[in-house]
Amino acid sequence: MTKPSFFGTLSLAMKKNKYFGDKQFYKMVVAVALPILIQNGITNFVSLLDNIMVGRVGTEQMSGVAIVNQLMFVFNLALFGAVSGPGIFTAQYVGQKNDEGIRYTVRFKLIMAFSIFVLGVVTFLTMQDYLISLFLHQQTEALDLEATLKYAKEYLAIMLFGIFPFAITQAYSGTLRESGETKIPMYAGLSAVSVNLVLNYILIFGHFGAPKMGVAGAALATVISRYIETAIVIGWTHSHKERNAFAVGLYKSLYIPGHLVKKIIVKGTPLFLNEFLWSMGMSALTQCYSTRGLEVIAAFNISNTITNLFNVVLISMGSVVAIIIGQTLGSGDMENVVDTDRKLITLAVLSSTSVAIIMAFLAPLFPLLYNTTEDIRHLAVVFIWIGAAFMPVGAFLNAAYFTIRSGGKTFVTFLFDSAYLWVIAWPVAYVLSRFTDLNVIPLYIIVLSLDFIKVLIGALMLKKRIWIHNLVA
């Protein structure tokens, strides 16, 4: 008896219910989601442990690292946007079984990754003092701004050496996931975070005869782990060419057909600009909150660390939507695409709601792990509760974003994400932070509440089906 194909199984699974799939549907989702979920979960759990280790050293050290990581966040999202544009084509070429097309998109990703790497290093080297100082505001005498700046620069100087391997890994790992090989990036990521965790313990605190390096040790551990992850991903890809046909002749030339370059640029540029401007916008929002004192940065660092851990379900479901909807679009069954997407969004929202309840329950316990003041701990707890309350909203918006992006409507995603942030959210945060004495907690709630406008816009776009588009037909 012939084993049913991926799309055959998917089609049968979608016929049962409008919002909920049957057993076969969820088995298919788990097969795609589980490796991504495990990798993201363990990575964020190790990041949590790393953050706690730095937080045990002191508040200034923790705040300095948090500020640099906020700046690195912009670089990471710019890189993600640069490789995601061609990634849309990769996923649909996989559905079409076009190995040559996949190879072209990988070359484009590598060129973009190297370009972003160069721009990132130049920016950090020439503007580090200015960028870090944007987040340094004194409300009380309890924290030392000069010490925070010193620790931030010390951490950044070492982290710059890890930018190149991280960039190359994103190009390879994204391609493997879009091709259905989700386990290898997971194994590479698990190996890297394991090394990172052990080296953090040794280098931050000076165990086993190693020097006590503090924030420098945290940065060095991260850099070493990134090279290990890169070696594993690239090594596996090129040693299993029977499963990765795109790797055959990948570096024989940098040739990419002009018509494909044009299509990727047209579809990918709004996506790159969206990720870059969105990450800058999120950093700009954080900078607005930081005007209420360095204590806010410390509290946000604590709350964001645990929120990122619990957000792995939300983030992983976005990747699942991108992979499954991208491949289903490539197959050409558009009614199946709509039905699949509806069920995936429902699953994303319900699973994130369950996770949010657990996070809210644990909120009072987590900040106790940090060596900081009681006021910062209390503020962190409130931030965690607020984050939990808005997590289902974020789950819907994330799934809607990846749905629209999968169909190649990248300009629409640009308007939906970055344009909205800069035109609505940031101006409100800027005005309230500069021209009022509003406390940071209501300020934070007001800015997050603006996302309900995006929910209405996203729901309307999904209903109108403007995102359905087969790019590689």
Residue 349: what residue type?
V
Tokens of 364: 């009072």
| pLDDT of 1 | 47
Per-block mean pLDDT, blocks of 10 residues, the chain (473 long): 51 59 79 79 74 82 85 86 85 81 90 92 92 76 77 92 92 87 85 89 90 91 93 92 84 87 85 83 89 86 86 85 76 72 89 93 89 88 95 91 76 80 93 92 94 88 72 54
> What is the rounded CA–CA span in Å between residue 403 and residue 458?
10
Which two tokens mark 49? 């442990």
* Rounded-to-integer distance, Cα 108 and Cα 256, Å: 7
Distance in angstroms (rounded) separating the CA atoms of residues 446 and 422: 15
56 burial type by CB count under 10 A (0-12 exposed, 13-18 middle, 19+ buried): middle
Q: What is the pLDDT of residue 426?
A: 94
Answer yes or no: are the C-beta atoms of 88 and 405 closer than 8 Å.
yes
Residue with tokens 């792995």: 312
pLDDT at 396: 92
Rounded to two decimals, the pTM is 0.74
Q: Which pLDDT score, from 0 to 100, does residue 333 have?
A: 63
Domain assignments of the chain as residue spans, ordered by start: 6-464
The predicted pLDDT at position 57 comes to: 83
Q: How far is CA 236 from the centre of its chain?
A: 24
Q: Cite the DSSP H helix spans in 135-257.
A: 145-159, 163-178, 183-205, 215-239
CA distance 79 to 163: 10
Number of H helices, E strands in the chain: 19, 0
pLDDT at 332: 61
Cβ proximity of 203 and 229 under 8 Å: no
Task: Please tell me the distance from the alpha carbon of residue 166 to that of residue 274, in angstroms, as a whole number.
Answer: 20
